[in-house]
A and B are shown apart, each in its own frame.
Chain A
């Protein structure tokens, strides 16, 4: 029985719009950390720009609210500096699939041990409702007055193609499932992407909680679905156009810090530094003697 409750991870009162899906994501993140009995000071949450980026203000742990789209490189630096910490990253679809998409592919490729939660609402809420990378084709926004003409980014397909080792999708209307998916993501020794359909009731009146409930297929409830099967995962993300929730795929993680055999048991951050004149002289003698 975990000693902590989600309240151990509460910081400021959230100022998201009433009904925002991000409240559920915050709660699920707090519940997941409580279930895992993680002391808040052993967690770093890195967040990006946008409504979702404010989550660091509401989640009690060490928090770093960074510039737009760059949560993953910064989370990578933190994890390499102190591999004993639980490193979480969170942001929106604009942050992760627009301005920062490049970093997502490379974080997957490195399999850096970071759990990345994307609050995917399909609009740019913080700048008042423009299209986002995941906006459905035809959807009308202030920046697409005749309907979005582009195809949306499909994060599950991208992540699977890039070789991700933990891939899940949740929805803000199901906090218990989302909690489980995040919890398993944190346990996973590798990169975990949890994409969350997180409705924006202010700028998107179509994709409501009800709308998602009617359409999403829950893989977790399907006894024939095996998340260890890349074939099934590929079929699920290709044929259902991403309209699924649950654990999509899980393989054995090969976390970046585990692939660096020189890393000692003590994390770099805990090492006390002394000037190493001896190393300089040794390298000079060995390599720079003409």
Chain B
């Protein structure tokens, strides 16, 4: 079994927990380890309980760990909250004497004067960096890699700040070297050393991958309203779109955000917004306008627990049906469901092609865990991105068709070649009101109404030529179905079971709407038992499966809706029992 260590630092927001976690993750990745992070943070900017978990291994990681090997506690509360997750034989590092809490049974307690050592290195605020030095020494991680990560983190700061932080890390390392050598054996790296030559090249979040996918696909305008966990995309776009001549606009609300995106889409520019549940709720009416007026729009929706403001900093998948059905009336839409970093990148890029080809809104449905956690990746498949602007009128065609141009022409595919404003000749009217094929509103002919409804709805019947709705792996007669971030822990649980020759089959839903019944149905039919794993209380994915693919009497739900993502261990036991016919 490959070596696998899980380290966590916890304290209060404002104590540098996040930056310590980021630096530690970067240091581990620089040393050649695969990294997978997990943050727990409160909706309190200063003084709330926060933690940053870094899981490290020499093999690619799909999920957070089940237990902790090493916990750094900057306050007593961290020991109370996360101490129980320390494995037997794990190590608790506490800031002495501030943190008095004892270690949980079976764990070693290392009392280190983190604040004092930091003050000696120049500033007590750097206790987080001292903790990193102690941790790296105990876990026998590469000090040079960690120093490099510290330097990169503070490279915009003054030389003094950089030097002090490096000194703080070194002081922690030396302290551990002198006083804690007996403890280090408990958690030390006991497998092959990672190689810096084969090191994973990048460390990035789902939000980063989404933003990069949009850029690769030619997104030039971005409009959104800040909202956790999607704000990173706004900040990323604000930093990077100007370099390609584009712009990010922070609008007054999400209604305006999608409005700007639709205006740009109507005018022929690729545009996107990203939001979470509350924002998507506000966008709902505008989503219908995109459906009715057949305007391309890309909406990234990163779910968090609802309803209402819900739990802004936590995780859930309870907006699945909202994304499928949101807005009054009936119109086609596409809802993509990436589950990995690579899929976040490629699906976002593909969303622009689909939106323009099918002239409809495309939602990239993601979740808090998927977009916030950082993972190492060898690269992103940038070379796989293609650009297809869909059926467009050339200027010559626009000029020729003139007033006879029918923007909503009734074609066999339902897709009508579109002109954009500025083209000579094809002056058309788009409307959220029901309209005929020429765009004229106020008609009441039942045959026209029926024809236009059917025209819009048949646009996406052929979408499967451009899109795969499901991804399957594994074997056996137990079928696990999921989408989004649970795919990671499911894959790890499957790997663990495979070592015991226990096999399950996994179907990752890759497109939630149109529902890929042709791909899911046969799998459902074939399976003896079906497990639908999802982060909501009412079984929204299961509802779609039952409605469109069947499975009555065979589906067993695994649902988690406490705000936290699954760990592999939470799924492993149940899958084993099912595969062995014991459940």
Contact = CB atoms under 8 A, between A and B. Distances in A.
A74 to B, nearest CB: 4
B212 A77 contact: no
Contacts of A284: 201-202, 204, 212, 379-380
Nearest to B419: A62
Interface string B233-258: 00000001111111101011101111
**Interface size band for B:** 35 or more
A132 interface: no
Contacts of B241: 262
* Most chain A Cβ neighbours within 10 Å, of B149, B202, B269: B269
A280 B382 contact: yes
A65 B267 contact: no
Given A73-B255, A74-B260, A75-B263, A268 B220 contact: yes
Given A73-B263, A277-B383, A290-B26, 8 more contacts: A54-B442, A72-B256, A74-B260, A77-B266, A80-B269, A262-B246, A273-B389, A290-B152
A38 interface: no
B260 A80 contact: yes
12 contacts: A12-B440, A41-B424, A44-B421, A57-B429, A62-B428, A74-B263, A105-B252, A263-B247, A264-B245, A275-B385, A276-B216, A277-B382
Interface stretch (A81-89, A171-179, A247-255): A81-89
B365 to A, nearest CB: 22
Contact of B269 (A54, A105, A269): A269
B253 A102 contact: yes
A7 interface: no
A73 B168 CA distance: 50
B289 interface: yes
A273 B263 contact: no
Nearest to A277: B382
Contacts of B149: 290
Given A74-B262, A271-B220, A284-B380, A56 B431 contact: yes
Nearest to A69: B255
B264 A78 contact: yes
A61 B427 contact: yes
Nearest to B251: A73
* Most chain A Cβ neighbours within 10 Å, of B204, B257, B422: B422
B245 A77 contact: no
B204 A268 contact: no
Contact of A273 (B218, B251, B383): B218
Contact of A276 (B218, B264, B431): B218
Across chains A and B, which 7 residue pairs bring their CB atoms closest together, nearest first?
A77-B263, A73-B259, A62-B421, A273-B218, A81-B267, A290-B29, A277-B382
* Most chain A Cβ neighbours within 10 Å, of B241, B258, B266, B380: B266
A284 B216 CA distance: 12
Interface in A60-106: 60-67, 70, 72-82, 84-85, 102-103, 105-106
A8 to B, nearest CB: 11
Q: Is the interface of B mostly helix, strand, loop or mixed?
A: mixed
Given A41-B425, A61-B427, A288-B202, A81 B215 contact: no
* Most chain A Cβ neighbours within 10 Å, of B217, B256, B262, B286: B256
A75 B251 CA distance: 13
A209 B104 CA distance: 84
Contacts of B43: none
A103 B267 contact: no
A275 B383 CA distance: 8
Contacts of B265: 77
A65 B433 contact: yes
Interface of B: 25-27, 29-30, 35, 149, 152, 201-204, 208, 212, 215-218, 220-221, 223, 240-247, 249, 251-253, 255-271, 285-286, 288-289, 293, 349, 376, 379-380, 382-383, 385-387, 389, 420-433, 439-442
A41 B220 contact: no
Interface in A255-271: 260, 262-264, 267-271
B259 A76 contact: yes
B261 to A, nearest CB: 6
Interface in A87-129: 102-103, 105-106
B266 A78 contact: yes
Contacts of A270: 422
Contacts of B251: 73, 106
A73 B256 contact: yes
Given A64-B430, A76-B260, A288-B204, A280 B246 contact: no
Contacts of B349: 275
A40 interface: yes
Contacts of A269: 267-269, 420, 422
* Most chain B Cβ neighbours within 10 Å, of A77, A270, A281: A77
Given A41-B423, A289-B202, A70 B259 contact: yes
Contact of A77 (B217, B267, B285, B425): B267
B216 A280 contact: yes
Contact of A41 (B256, B258, B376, B422): B422
B256 A67 contact: no
Contacts of B439: 63
Contact of A277 (B25, B255, B385): B385
Contacts of B27: 290
B262 A77 contact: yes
Contacts of A54: 441-442
A44 B430 CA distance: 11
Given A70-B259, A262-B246, A273-B389, A80 B203 contact: no
B432 A65 contact: yes
B215 A15 contact: no
A87 B505 CA distance: 55
B237 to A, nearest CB: 12
B428 A290 contact: no
Contacts of A1: none
Contacts of A12: 440
A232 to B, nearest CB: 30
A64 B266 contact: yes
Interface string A42-64: 11101000000010110011111
Contact of A280 (B215, B386, B432): B215
B220 A67 contact: no
A67 B289 CA distance: 7
Nearest to B204: A288
